[in-house]
Amino acid sequence: MENKLETRLRNLAVFQICDSTFPIGTFNHSFGMENYLRNGLIDDANQFSEWLTNYYQSQFKYGEGLLTLLVYQALDCDNFNQLQYLDDVITKSTLARETRDGTKVIAKQMVILIQKIYGNQIKDLNQYAELMEHGKVYGNPAIVFAIFAHYQGVSKQDAYLMYGYSVASTLVQNAVRAIPLGQREGQVVLNRIIKQLGDLYQESCQYDVSYLGANTPGLELAQINHETQNARLFMS
């Protein structure tokens, strides 16, 4: 039976992967936030906090948040074909080209770095990476993360919360640079999202794959409009 120290070390390994400093290119993407910034809809901490809350209540809850839970279900049933289906649904549900391309690049970089650290010992990750290489799946970082967290024996609840924190932490750091926000203000905003993640998890648990990719038009339009934005700091 695994002791508490081994469990904590496994959790720490997953925290490393979802740390905002993990070099997979997430600092290059605002996922539409920069378009709100350009249009004067975000220019302080409160407005950014409102945007981030709405992002989590829609695009995260029905997108990558729900996706982590669905990946766990598939892996628990040893149904790898379902991962291919989930990859297809989440990618084709993302209307903005930059966002689609950005998630593919992040997923690829995440796979490369995890394999550099852990070699080829994670069978499901190796299989997913091979499908990405041959163009049979698109690649999504939430799928890569969920595969790794499942391999490490992390519960689906902890995986959801860790990944939710990871996305929020990255977006806050990007807002600190772009708006700009003070680091202290950024941490206050991040803590608000942390407090919401428990409720979001309970909600996401009630949804099946038919909800995957549901989105808010305003967020999608901002992500689409970012593609033709003249001056920008981010790739999406």
Whether 77 is in a domain gets the answer yes
Mean pLDDT value across residues 62-81: 97
Listed in sequence order, the residues at least 6 apart from 216 whose beta carbon sits closer than 8 Å to its beta carbon are: 54, 58, 59
Distance CA 142, CA 148 (A): 10
pLDDT tens-digit series, residues 1-46: 568 899 899 999 998 988 877 877 777 878 888 899 888 899 999 9
In whole angstroms, how far apart are CA 55 and each of 50, 190, 211, 216? 9, 13, 16, 8
Whether 18 is in a domain gets the answer no
- Please tell me the total count of domains within the chain: 1
Q: Quick one: angle between helices 183-204 and 45-55, nearest 10?
A: 20
Whether 6 is in a domain gets the answer no
Q: How many helices (H) and strands (E) does the chain have?
A: 11, 0
Whether 45 is in a domain gets the answer yes
pLDDT tens-digit series, residues 199-235: 999 999 999 999 999 888 888 888 888 888 777 777 7
Whether 8 is in a domain gets the answer no
The residue range of the domain holding 197 is 31-228
**Four-CA torsion 92, 40, 48, 207, nearest 10 degrees:** -30
Distance CA 78, CA 159 (A): 18
User: What CATH number corresponds to the domain at position 68?
Assistant: 1.10.4190.10
Q: Is the pTM of this model over 0.85?
A: yes
